[in-house]
Amino acid sequence: MAKYQTNILDEKTGFKGEVFEQFIYERSPKIETNDIVSFHECTFKLPVVLEKLNIKELSFTNCKFEKEFNLIESEISIIGFTDCKFKVEFRLVSNRCSAYTIIRKISTPKARIKGNYQNLQIVSSTIKEFRIGDINSDSTKKDSKIEFLAENNIKKVRIEPYSTYSHISFKGSVYKEIHFEGTFHNRIVFEKKVRCNQVFFESSICNYRIDFEEGNFETIYFYRSNFNGLVYINDFDGDNVVDFSRELLIEKLWLHSCTFDKDVTVGLSKINYITLSNNNFKQIFSFNNYLVRDKLKDADTVIVALPLLGHR
Over the chain (312 residues), what is each successive 10-residue block's mean pLDDT? 79 96 95 93 98 97 99 98 98 98 98 98 98 94 95 97 97 96 98 94 98 95 98 76 70 96 89 92 86 49 53 42
Contact 82, 42 (CB under 8 A): no
**Nearest Cα to Cα of residue 19 among 41, 52, 47:** 41
Residue 229 DSSP one-character state? S
What was the pLDDT predicted at 14? 96
Q: Which amino acid is at 24?
A: I
What is the structure's pLDDT at 137? Answer: 95
The answer for residues whose C-beta is within 8 angstroms of residue 96's C-beta and 6 or more apart is 74, 75, 76, 115, 116
Helix (H) or strand (E) holding 97: strand 90-104
Under a CB-based contact definition with an 8 Å cutoff, are residues 65 and 87 in contact? yes
Q: How far is CA 42 from CA 23, 84, 85, 123, 251, in A?
A: 14, 10, 11, 22, 45
Residue type, 83: D
Q: Distance between CA atoms of 226 and 202, rounded to whole angstroms?
A: 9
The closest alpha carbon to 157, from 125, 118, 203, belongs to 125
> In this predicted structure, what is the pLDDT of residue 294?
45
- Give the model's pLDDT for residue 141: 87
Residue 166 to residues 11, 72, 142, 188, 285: CA-CA distances in angstroms?
Answer: 38, 21, 6, 9, 27
**3-class secondary-structure state, position 294:** helix
H helix or E strand, kind and range, residue 121:
strand 107-123
Res 5: pLDDT: 93
Burial status of residue 276 (CB atoms within 10 A of its CB: 0-12, 13-18, 19 or more)? buried
C-alpha span between 122 and 150 (Å, rounded): 8
Per the rule left: phi > 0, alpha: psi between -120 and 50, beta: everything else, 73 is left
CB atoms near residue 280 (< 10 Å) = 12
Determine contact, residues 74/37, Cβ cutoff 8 Å.
Answer: no
Q: What's the pLDDT at 2?
A: 45
Q: Beta partners for 217?
A: 196, 250
For residues 230 and 209, the answer to whether their CB atoms sit within 8 Å is yes
- Residue 95 near residue 73 (C-beta atoms within 8 A): yes
Which runs of E-coded beta strand occur in 185-297? Answer: 188-191, 194-202, 205-206, 210-212, 215-223, 226-227, 231-234, 248-256, 259-260, 264-267, 271-277, 280-281, 285-288
Rg (the chain; Cα; Å): 23
